[in-house]
Chains A and B, each alone.
Chain A
Amino acid sequence: MKKVFPILGVVTAVLLIYALYQALAVAPTERTMGDVQRIFYYHVPSAWTAFLLFFINFGASVCFLIKRNQTADIVALVCAEVGVVFCTVVLITGPIWARPVWGIWWTWDMRLTSTLVLWLIYVSYLMLRRFSSSGETPLLAAALAVLGALCVPFVYFSIWFFRTQHPQPVMGGGGSIDPRMLHALLINWLAFSCFAFLVCWSRYRLEKLQREVDEAHALRSLHDPGGRVR
């Protein structure tokens, strides 16, 4: 396992560089929006990656509620953390694109609002993990994750009633897209997913080590209660 990590790191770096080249040089310039459209190669893959990570968080939380397995808890935590980072990227790149194209930074449109609410839900999830005392955190967090995931369809339907300004989704939206653009988009998504996986993995190892250290500390104080006070 130790050897796989650096190899994956190198592969991710190469992919990210190739994806950057694809997005900036190979993909054709959009006719009406111009170069600002290229942010799309970062915006959309980040969104997909974030949604994927939140979905894994939901799965891991359900798994934890059923099996009380510590690995599932760490996976849920890690996916929520990295997912929030990618979701933040989505929420920052969106307005940068929207300002020149729509003329406004923000609008209360379906996708924007549901992404924002999703972000709020998972930030509150991370807050809960931070504020609760160690023993019961995983259970409470898993319960919140399940409720949060159930909230998503409601957010989507409630905001569906408002006017939608966002461009049609690339997949299944019926819009046509230049194959070179699609290629650049998919390469970027692959690169971002690899990158997210890499970060999750290293965060996973860190969290696991942290828990082992905590456990060792607790054990030592049990065995040697009169020991040095630090």
Chain B
Amino acid sequence: MKITICIGSSCHLKGSRQIVEEMQYLIAEHKLQDQVELGGTFCMGNCKNGVCVKLDEQEFSLSPATTKDFFEREVLTRVK
């Protein structure tokens, strides 16, 4: 599974660094390094919402506060 996080200016200002850090922490905590690949990109063309995150080809809009919830709901359920 690949999670791509937008690190372009707009998302950066909305907290993409915090989301990157949180994701790295959660992946390590659940020992999913072999199953989940993290990557960055500059802009997904959807700057009006929250931080753009892609789970394989599906797009989501996150904030640092909703990251843990997203991880448990979308990521953990798919890797099991």
Do they bind each other? no
